[in-house]
Chain A
């Protein structure tokens, strides 16, 4: 019976993942998405949660969006945002980070020379939205790219407040 419920939950999570993927744009900042790399991963158990991802590329510019829902990973990112040490612009070992606001949500933007920009936006208590942007000129370009994603709709679909 337990296995049957887990399988039912997997099925429902896959449907939720498909609905979330439908809200994603097919193009971001001139980069087209690669349908083959769309991903919805779920284990049916709370520990790993539901992972949804889409990949955009054009030449050496790349954007990868990942949504992690109902996972233990999310609490660690919320720690970043609530830790006073990260409350201001900072820099450590070649990585620069800054707290910003994206579509009304608190977020953390990081930059590293070898991996580019990463924008992390916790949505509610158990969802994390991550946007990785490679070869983007500036922070504003990354925020502009993030505006293509309807975070309020994603929150609603995932039952976050």
Chain B
């Protein structure tokens, strides 16, 4: 039971992290549409950082996803 709860928590965290990436990508798209290149770039950098963290977690813990 504890293991299932752990998996659910991990899955929830992963979903949250994925949402972070998607949120940043949405922000980048929105900034690009309004021709704000600097904020587009910043949001893309942030999304890349979030994605790198996810990749790192995946490598450290293959059960993460």
Taking beta carbons and an 8 Å cutoff, which residues of A are in contact with B?
A: 1-2, 5-6, 8-9, 12-13, 15-16, 19, 46, 157-159
* B32 to A: closest C-beta gap in Å: 7
**What residues of B have a CB within 8 angstroms of the CB of A158 in the complex?**
38
Count B-side interface residues using an 8 Å CB cutoff.
16
Contacts between chains A and B (CB distance < 8 A), count: 36
Taking beta carbons and an 8 Å cutoff, which residues of B are in contact with A?
A: 25, 28, 32, 37-42, 44-45, 47-48, 51-52, 55
Q: Is the interface of B mostly helix, strand, loop or mixed?
A: helix
Is there an interface contact between A13 and B55, defined as CB atoms closer than 8 Å? no
A sample of 26 inter-chain contacts (CB < 8 A) reads A1-B51, A2-B48, A2-B51, A2-B52, A5-B25, A5-B47, A5-B48, A6-B48, A8-B28, A8-B44, A9-B41, A9-B44, A9-B45, A9-B48, A12-B32, A12-B40, A12-B41, A13-B41, A16-B37, A16-B38, A16-B41, A46-B45, A158-B38, A159-B38, A159-B41, A159-B42
